[in-house]
Chain A
């Protein structure tokens, strides 16, 4: 099989194109998405409105109206894929996403499922400060009824985004802008058409026996560097990429930690009340007696994302902290 390199932006674009091509109920809208308005601020939807016409639309700056229209369209049987340009702007769409999209299936006793997908970009590291960089996955992880998904590489991005679009529940798919354009933006191999990555299933990126590292998104890239270096020292680290952040693949995580007896959870979001707290808690609840050390968490400092580059770099969890945590639980 021939493969070609594919960036994160291209991978998301390929997933959108494939979804539009195979299912006429797939529709897309968001700010600046159509070609006469630039094809999306990050260019992910470039070309799609030209090819698929009215099924791909630009909207005014109206996140509440965007999300609400997606809810209605989903209830009426379409599969809307909306773009909320940056994750912080979910603040404006919150009522429609949390109180409506995530709960209508339950509140109606199963009569009105809401198969919509939100694509939203975010991530610190570009000096975009406190209103344009937050990782807010924990907000949504706390809400029963929606699925929270992110990818650490282009192939997963394509496969996971397609799975979100064709999932029958509301999904929020987080795209990291640093993986789009930053140092982690290495192209991966383009998966074949039809490639899907199932939701709810984690990926064991490196097998190991001494300690388990659980992560997702951009921090998987950082963790791979650390884990591979430690392997040279003879430390065998099992690295798990959750892919679906919530509800997460407890089975893969618990089986791994049952084997290694040690775990570190790593994410970019603020450590306090982050997803790491839930993952760590589940490990303690199930494996308390078997753990060699308490589970450690690595996440951002408890601060809004700062502007100044020196502060922003200190805010973010970095490879040295991941390494230190791994050393601490294996000491």
Chain B
């Protein structure tokens, strides 16, 4: 049973995960700005709370599928910082031995099954994960994360129809951050929201404020519980905002200044932190200590990644097939 969203323990847990994501995101950006690392990074800043809520709802054996903008989903699912940073830095100790990189972080032991760089690529795959669980008599649930832009690709339509038809234990979590690269949501379809499309597939669809911890937690908890009971999929549209554009360094000229300002003023991580303190669920010292612990963990992960060796060139010939290729 999942605890109600008003449970202080739940809110504290969501904050802990959101803080891990925010501080990790800040660290990556700091390393990019300072020239410590040179990668193309799709910042998750502003989208932490919805991912944290998903992490708080899911069990360790549940599956997650995400995208290039997926660090928040991975960290929320428990992804340790060590193999994450090592992968970003192309080290052999990385989550994928340095072969996949930031766009393809995979950590099956915690259910982080597929991270795709192809918009919409994850949705049909989630159905396969869900079907396998159904067939094997497991009650694990799959959450597939994707953007508002991905709702316009054929794979979205095909995947939702199949999931509804087969009553698959899948939650389709559309993170509507209002932009797809440089194209605004309003420039991409007539409908004001994505969730009502679910009805067309015979599936439940809910639009929720993804930046409101209690609200998104309740919706996800219900969708996941329903999927776990074998009652089929849900399309959840979590409204949110991308604080740092499409990729780190994006000039963001296409994003209105006022809109950005308003979003940042309502920073969901800061808002949750304030709420915890204001409502007496946590105190400043405890949260500061938590944040310090996370920072120390990040320091350690980054130092370890830097010290780790690069992959051996022979790695080019392994993992291509089950057997090794002759070089």
Q: Interface on A for B, CB 8 Å cutoff?
A: 31-32, 36-38, 41, 58, 60-65, 88-89, 91-92, 126-132, 301-304, 306-311, 314-315
Contact = CB atoms under 8 A, between A and B. Distances in A.
Given A37-B182, A38-B253, A306-B316, 15 more contacts: A37-B183, A38-B254, A61-B150, A61-B153, A62-B153, A62-B154, A63-B153, A127-B90, A302-B320, A303-B320, A303-B325, A306-B98, A308-B91, A311-B98, A314-B316
- Give chain B's interface residue range (CB within 8 Å of chain A): 35 or more
14 contacts: A31-B180, A58-B183, A60-B189, A65-B154, A89-B118, A91-B118, A131-B104, A306-B99, A307-B102, A308-B94, A308-B98, A309-B90, A310-B311, A311-B313
Contacts of A132: 103, 117
A36 B40 CA distance: 24
Interface string B247-275: 00000011000000000000000000000
Contacts of B276: none
A310 B180 CA distance: 32
Interface string B290-327: 00000000000000000000110101110010000101
Contact of A307 (B99, B181, B184, B253): B99
Contacts of A130: 99-100, 104
A301 B315 CA distance: 12
B188 A311 contact: no
Q: Which of B39, B91, B311 has the most CB of A within 10 A?
A: B311
B310 A310 contact: yes
Interface of B: 39-40, 87, 90-92, 94, 96, 98-104, 116-120, 149-150, 152-155, 180-184, 187-189, 253-254, 310-311, 313, 315-317, 320, 325, 327
Contact of B103 (A61, A131, A314): A131
Given A129-B117, A132-B103, A60 B188 contact: yes
Given A128-B40, A129-B100, A314-B316, A308 B183 contact: no
A302 B324 CA distance: 12
B154 A92 contact: yes
Contacts of B99: 129-130, 304, 306-308, 311
A61 to B, nearest CB: 5
A129 B104 contact: yes
A91 to B, nearest CB: 7
Contacts of B184: 37
A121 B98 CA distance: 24
Contacts of B187: 36-37, 58
Contacts of B310: 308, 310
- Minimum-distance CB pairs A-B, first 3: A307-B101, A308-B90, A308-B98
Contacts of A306: 98-99, 311, 315-316
A65 B153 CA distance: 8
B152 A32 contact: no
B311 A92 contact: no
A309 B180 CA distance: 28
A61 B149 contact: yes
Contacts of B116: 131
B183 A92 contact: no
B98 A307 contact: yes
Contacts of A36: 187, 254
Contacts of A64: 153-154
Nearest to A58: B183
Q: Which of B87, B90, B92 has the most CB of A within 10 A?
A: B90
A311 B311 contact: yes
A266 to B, nearest CB: 19
A64 B120 CA distance: 12
A306 B313 CA distance: 11
Contact of A308 (B120, B311, B327): B311
Contact of B254 (A37, A302, A303, A310): A37
A175 B90 CA distance: 26
B124 to A, nearest CB: 12
